[in-house]
Chain A
């Protein structure tokens, strides 16, 4: 049964050293692919590789088994050096059934490796996947190195001693695949065996079956003489410290817990479940011993409303959501702008419009966050750039909210939310103090002025109910400067509009200038990015430079206001390219603010940019800039 398409001879097994590899596990959404990917990731993290992951699952919980719609995948990039993306394309594809093969083989480069569960390639399954003939025999996989492994039958055989029923034992085949790949890449096995024991501890038969399947996969690699070599991806050089592998959503949740502690305010989360943001609600709900109050509200409006009510009472009010939820929250965010109270809105962006692509990533809510309210209602925006950076970005967003008494948007997206990377765990004592002050009690002799402002920040006092002498009323009607009383005076309104704008614009003085990554200082092309494009842009930048060419990279974390030096920086370059997962939203802002000819490099396919796509755009720009002046001028018309 077992054979390779390339060669039949059994060479002595060699250990091949590789500096990096991208592996994609793919199967039915009921096959446990995400668990398999997660475990391989953990093994690799503990082994010491640098890594980056990209889960990809369908919106349906269980689409019909065996169909293309039901294919779930998990890509992990491991390396012996620091890497920035989950990889443009897999080197190895593990396909548990024909649909998984068909949905993913297009991404496999010529010469790539496919490990397939040959048991799953029966006629029915082939038909469901839309194959007219069996790709394992019809020659269509020529050009790939294909390993056919009867994973289902080997798993059933291996699981016999566990006493698991065949139906249940079959479900362990993902652990067989994991074992096989663990062997192929010489991963430590104890990590997974311990995890299985812990995760399924309540059900000894399942522990036994999964462990047996995992070991069987590992031993199969060793004994079957199917594979000519094993691969070793040596550990990467990391700075000394304690590391953990973290997803963007966990990092947001932990960042919020940290921010509440650093801000010395109780954390209140009002949220309504929505993909891909729900995991933040789940994570925070686990940590009630930190004193965090979580409310699963009746809808998104109530979620943000409750957060704002809690903020009035002195809490760090947070709401977490995705695009459709942001739509619903708009009016309440506008109220928060008027009330000038701290509030954090976390938007884990997904493909839109409407329900769009719930499980796929996109960056198309930037202008929504920027302008998605009636009236002049400026809101600061902070965007995370990598999964672990979500932790710092959350703290930074909260810092701004507390200090400037304003709602703040924190933007992440599906790619960061579910993707993961190793993160050097910070020492809590190194985290910034972001605490704020509340207005002190008064004797009530002088009228309290709820809209008197700090001359430096233009922030108003945070006067909490319960404080004697500060009784006051706030609301969405326009307020008189200083007194906060209802005012319909046109001149006062104009003044308040300007004051609110100036308060947010002034934050530019309080955020770091952009750092320009341009080692030679002589690049003519600038890649300007924001959010999750960071990894692909930084990796493309390296490739261009490795080629002896020059390119600069600036990555924005603060999108409103922009860092003070951004205009000066973008004007220095002959060409500004803005890669973004939308149709050019940051590009518009930059063009409008700085009158530069920034050009968008857009992608809205529900997947992150590949490094190649960005590298290509730089190459094209460099080529264009080298063209004779006359032609370039003509083009710039």
Chain B
């Protein structure tokens, strides 16, 4: 078979003919645009690209992509995508999920897809609210959140999706936000190119039910002092002229410091490839909510065989050892006897 060159495409080729039906001003629009602008650059084919989603506002995403897609059921996208990715290693499988979808009803499937390292690119649209069901608190909502279902304030401690993913043995974990298309594209590209399960948490504004949830971090005015950019091999610095940075204090904890006070050499150099996820986890705990300086970028990117390849090599090994399966001999493989 001759390899036919991947056709040159533009954003338009990747957009379906469906009207996009998110609320005007919703952060989901800019995430959609980032993906549609990115795909022509990835050298992939529309027919080999599949978006699988669960249920929620975010989960409508596949309808807007001119690719293969499945809008499935609440929380189950990682499981469904696992079956697809394992049985069709030739496909590029993306999972689109919300914070309720991925971390509440579908939490079990998410952690298992991550630990197995199934070859999936998982985008988690975190708006810290249930959008589609009109504004109940979610597993990422801050304690005390007042919503329709928590008129006296929510009591539950939220998940930090990055911490959760790291704890679930994820080989690739990143965070980005809907106000920075360039950064989103960079994170999505990295996640796509990663072989295995890649999770990108996207801070997404739900301007109807949780407007401004991330404003303190991602807003244009605050960003410089509140976003901690993670760049592999670079000292972790932020703020105007990088006047602040992360250090490891003498109690072994990460801490934000003024570079002028501690000296440049004390600033932690980011290494996303560390085998031990401990430091990445510590990084994810720097901010306990989107009101503190918050790391954005790739927390962890390590090589680990993806599940589908492992499954396939077992099949090949079995065939090499036992020969290709022969049905007729299988049916006679038990204790058998002949009559007549």
Q: Which of A64-72, A288-296, A397-405, A550-558 contacts B (4 or more CB under 8 A)?
A: A288-296
Chain A interface size, under 10 / 10 to 19 / 20 to 34 / 35 or more? 35 or more
Report the contact-size class of chain B (Cβ under 8 Å from the partner).
35 or more
Chain A minimum-CB-distance residue to B14: A471
Cβ 8 A contact of A476, one of B73, B79, B81: B73
Name the A residues within 8 Å of B66 (CB-CB): 471
Say yes or no: B337 contacts A288, CB within 8 Å: no
Within 8 A of B (CB), among A463-477: 465-477
Check A302 against B108 for contact (C-beta < 8 Å): yes
Q: Taking CB as reference atom, which chain B residue is nearest A303?
A: B79
B133 at the interface (CB under 8 A from A): no
Inter-chain CA distance A297–B307, complex, in Å, is: 13
Q: Determine if A428 is an interface residue (Cβ-Cβ < 8 Å).
A: yes
Asked if A476 and B72 sit within 8 Å, CB to CB, the answer is yes
Q: Which of A244, A266, A308, A471 contacts B80 (CB 8 A)?
A: A308
B41-83: which residues lie under 8 A (CB-CB) from chain A?
A: 45-48, 50, 52, 55, 62-63, 65-73, 76, 79-83
Q: Is B339 an interface residue (CB 8 A)?
A: yes
Interface contact B315-A309, CB-CB below 8 Å: no
Tell me if B84 and A289 are in contact (CB < 8 A): no
How near does chain A come to B197, taking the closest CB pair, in angstroms? 14
Pick from A306, A469, A473, A476: contact of B69, CB under 8 Å? A473
Interface string of A62-95 (1 = CB under 8 A from B): 0000000000000000000000000000000000
Q: At the interface, yes or no: B318 with Cβ under 8 Å from chain A?
A: yes
Q: List A contacts of B332 (CB < 8 A).
A: 242, 244, 425
Chain A CB within 8 A of B16 CB: yes
- CB of B47 within 8 A of CB of A305, answer no
Which residue of A is nearest B335, CB measured?
A42
Flag whether A332 is at the interface (Cβ < 8 A).
yes
Identity of the chain A residue whose Cβ is nearest the Cβ of B21 in the assembled complex: A486
> A436–B331 Cα gap in the complex (Å)?
24
* Complex Cα spacing A338 to B66, Å: 21
Question: Which one, A42, A240, A315, A427, contacts B87 given CB within 8 A?
Answer: A315
B322 to A: closest C-beta gap in Å: 4
CB distance from B63 to the nearest CB of A (A): 5
Which chain B residues border A573 with CB–CB below 8 Å?
none
Q: Is the CB of A268 within 8 A of B16?
A: no
B315: A residues at CB distance < 8 A: 288-289, 291, 293
Q: Is A368 interfacial (CB 8 A cutoff)?
A: no
Say whether, besides A331-B73, A465-B50, A466-B48, A241 and B323 are in contact (CB < 8 Å). no
> Which residues of A lie under 8 Å from residue B330 when comparing CB positions?
254, 257, 287, 290
How many Å lie between the Cα of A238 and that of B338 in the bound state? 10
> At the interface, is chain B mostly helix, strand, loop or mixed?
mixed
Most buried by A among B46, B87, B311: B87
- The one of B47, B79, B321 that contacts A468, using a Cβ cutoff of 8 Å: B47
Q: Are A242 and B71 in contact (CB under 8 A)?
A: no
Cβ–Cβ < 8 Å partners of B91 in chain A? 313, 465-466
Q: Enumerate chain A residues within 8 angstroms of B339, measured Cβ to Cβ.
A: 48, 238-243
How does the 8 Å CB contact mask read for A567-609 relative to B, with 1 for contact and 0 for none? 0000000000000000000000000000000000000000000
Smallest CB separation, A626 vs chain B (Å): 44
Contacts A298-B108, A314-B88, A473-B16; A289 near B325 (Cβ below 8 A) = yes
A474 near B86 with CB under 8 A, answer: no
Minimum C-beta distance from A50 to chain B (A): 11
| Among candidates A191, A242, A309, A467, residue contacting B83 with C-beta atoms closer than 8 Å | A309
Residues on B with C-beta less than 8 A from A293 are 86-87, 311, 315
Give Cα A317 to B82, complex, Å. Answer: 12
| Complex contact A289–B324 (CB within 8 A) | yes
Residues of B within 8 A of A317 (CB): 83
Q: A293-B87, A314-B88 are in contact. Are A425 and B108 (CB under 8 A)?
A: no
Which residues from 16 to 52 on chain B have a C-beta closer than 8 Å to any C-beta of chain A? 16, 18, 45-48, 50, 52
Interface presence of A45 (CB below 8 A) = yes
- B47 close to A465 (CB less than 8 A): yes
Mark out the residues of chain A between 128 and 154 whose CB falls within 8 Å of any chain B CB in the assembled complex. Answer: none
Chain B residue at smallest Cβ distance from A331 = B73
CB within 8 Å of B: which of A385-439? 425-428
Bound complex: CA of A314 vs CA of B315, how far in Å? Answer: 18
Evaluate contact between A244 and B331: CB separation under 8 angstroms.
yes
CB distance from B71 to the nearest CB of A (A): 3
A113 is an interface residue with CB less than 8 A from chain B: no
Return chain B residues, CB-CB under 8 Å to A257. 325, 327, 330
Chain A residues with CB under 8 A of B18: 485-486
State how many angstroms separate the Cβ of A619 from the closest Cβ of chain B.
36
Most buried by A among B109, B317, B332: B109
| A465 vs B91: C-alpha distance when bound (angstroms) | 8
Contacts of A331 on B, CB cut-off 8 Å? 73, 76
CA separation between A137 and B38, bound complex, in Å? 87
> Nearest chain-B residue to A463 (Cβ)?
B68
A261 adjacent to chain B (CB < 8 Å): yes
Which A residues are CB-close (under 8 A) to B72?
305, 335, 475-476
User: Which residues of A are found within 8 Å of B69, using beta-carbon distances?
Assistant: 472-475
* A225-241 CB contacts (< 8 Å) to partner B: 238-241
CB A104 to nearest CB in B, in angstroms, measures 27
Assuming the contacts A241-B338, A268-B86, A293-B315, asked whether A312 and B70 have C-beta atoms less than 8 A apart, the reply is yes
Does B334 lie within 8 Å of A289, measured CB to CB? Answer: no
A241 close to B62 (CB less than 8 A) = no
B189 within 8 A of A: no
A-B contacts besides A244-B332, A288-B319, A425-B336, 16 pairs, CB < 8 Å: A297-B112, A298-B109, A301-B76, A301-B109, A302-B109, A309-B80, A310-B83, A310-B86, A313-B88, A335-B73, A465-B48, A465-B88, A469-B47, A476-B55, A477-B71, A486-B18
8 contacts between A and B (CB under 8 A): A42-B335, A241-B339, A305-B79, A309-B79, A465-B84, A469-B47, A473-B69, A474-B71
Q: A-B pairs with the 10 shortest C-beta distances?
A: A240-B340, A475-B71, A290-B325, A306-B83, A309-B83, A305-B79, A288-B318, A302-B79, A309-B84, A309-B80
